[in-house]
Amino acid sequence: MMGRSPSSEDNGLKKGPWTPEEDRILVDYIRENGHGSWRALPSLAGLNRCGKSCRLRWTNYLRPDIKRGKFSDEEEQSIINLHAVLGNKWSAIASHLPGRTDNEIKNFWNTHLRKKLLQMGIDPVTHKPRTDHLDFLASLPQLLAAANFSNLMNNHPLDINALRLQSDAATLAKLHLLHNMLQALGNSASTIEAMNLISGPTFRGNQLFDELPRINSLLEVNTGNLPFGSFVPHEVTKLQSNFINLEASQQQHQPLLSEYQQQPMKDSPFAANVPTSSTPPPHQLPALISTSPERRPSVENKINPNEISNPSSTSTNFEAWGDLMDDVASDHYWRDIIDQASSQPWTIS
DNA sequence: AAGTCACGCAACCGCCTGAAT
DNA sequence: CATTCAGGCGGTTGCGTGACT
């Protein structure tokens, strides 16, 4: 596929798409001599291009270690996770995906992943739920489905790195869910509904609240910012108070919302874990993990764990999140919450 | 069959950073 | 310390292509 304007001349230098012949010259030269100074390369190699153009062509297309073709599911999840932490630092993201270039990842994000997150009701910039047009109630099925992400592992054993990526994704999804709860609770009108949703006989709400400051500090310390928004102390206090009040009133307060039930996601791998209903949902969650065979992880797509845990970049973030997951936000803990949410009748006043 | 539209992606542009002088 | 310059990065552009009418 061609890009940009057809070959135009500027300062006598060719621009636009590279011809196979130019590619050959560039590859041959670098194979023989290395690239050395990019500025000097074109004249030395006999190319009528600027050095910058040569560098770009080499790094984005001709380099022998470049992996072409579709992104694997694990790569896709990795990009989403890394973007939540790093933002549009494409080169930093690319450093965790061997064989992928920043340009390729950037394009993939802009053309696929951005839309996918938007469809899920997640703001692709902040990775927060989009409360502008999707309120908490509407986006909950997606969040619940996403929160069950890690259950996939039971059905599709992957290599260890893929597991790690999936776990990161699950953490993100759960934090989204948690933050959404907080947002809902901050709004007095929806407090009861949300608490009814997440509460139940075995819901350990106070444990959740106890950990909010820790979640806050982990995110802040390890990322320098709060990708999901902060849990400020007064929010925690308010939540604890709300929760205590709710517990007291919960037994008698069980109105139903029969109109709002969760929807089967027939085409989603989450389907088995998501409560079903006959009512169509306001929004559909696209599958984060493709079920198509050609997207199954392959040997060559396995990501080097050493790359992922590059200590100079974001490993501390993942480690911290991992700690969080291992501890309070462990899967069984969240599964309890989610199971409760799934089985609990919905309430609206 | 022809025209239109939306999308994907290679390539360019301009800014930033860090090393060299 | 100030300046210059090469390399790197993120954002943007615009052509080719396939889907749709």
More confident residue, A119 or A221: A119
Residues of chain A with CATH 1.10.10.60: 9-62
Q: Which amino acid is at A339?
A: D
Per-residue pLDDT at A70? 85
Q: How many CB atoms lie within 10 A of CB A73?
A: 25
Protein residue with the closest CA to the C1' atom of nucleotide C17: A1
Spatial distance between the Cα atoms of A179 and A139, rounded to a whole number of angstroms: 12
Rounded to whole angstroms, the distance from the CA of residue A37 to the C1' of nucleotide C1 is 28
Confidence of residue A281 (pLDDT cuts 50, 70, 90): very low
Q: Are A118 and A130 in contact (CB under 8 A)?
A: yes
List beta partners, residue A129: A122
| A9-62 placed in CATH 1.10.10.60 | yes
Chain B nucleotides reached by a protein CB under 7 Å: 7-14
Taking the C1' atom of every nucleotide in all shown strands and the CA of A4, the nearest one is C14
Summarize pLDDT for A66-97 with one digit per residue, the tens.
888 888 888 888 899 888 888 888 988 988 88
Query: Could you tell me if residue A87 is left (phi over 0), alpha (psi between -120 and 50 degrees) or otherwise beta?
Result: left
Summarize pLDDT for A21-53 with one digit per residue, the tens.
999 999 999 988 888 888 889 988 999 999 989
What would the two tokens of residue A54 be?
Answer: 């040569």
Taking the C1' atom of every nucleotide in all shown strands and the CA of A8, the nearest one is B12
User: Does an H or E element contain A215, and which?
Assistant: helix A205-223
Rounded to whole angstroms, the distance from the CA of residue A5 to the C1' of nucleotide C21 is 28
What 3-state class would DSSP assign to A106?
helix
Taking the C1' atom of every nucleotide in all shown strands and the CA of A1, the nearest one is C16
Question: Of A115-124, A157-166, A204-213, A254-263, where does mean pLDDT reach its minimum?
Answer: A254-263
Rounded to whole angstroms, the distance from the CA of residue A77 to the C1' of nucleotide B9 is 21
Per-residue pLDDT at A88? 86
Q: Which of A167, A314, A148 has the alpha carbon at shortest distance from A227?
A: A314
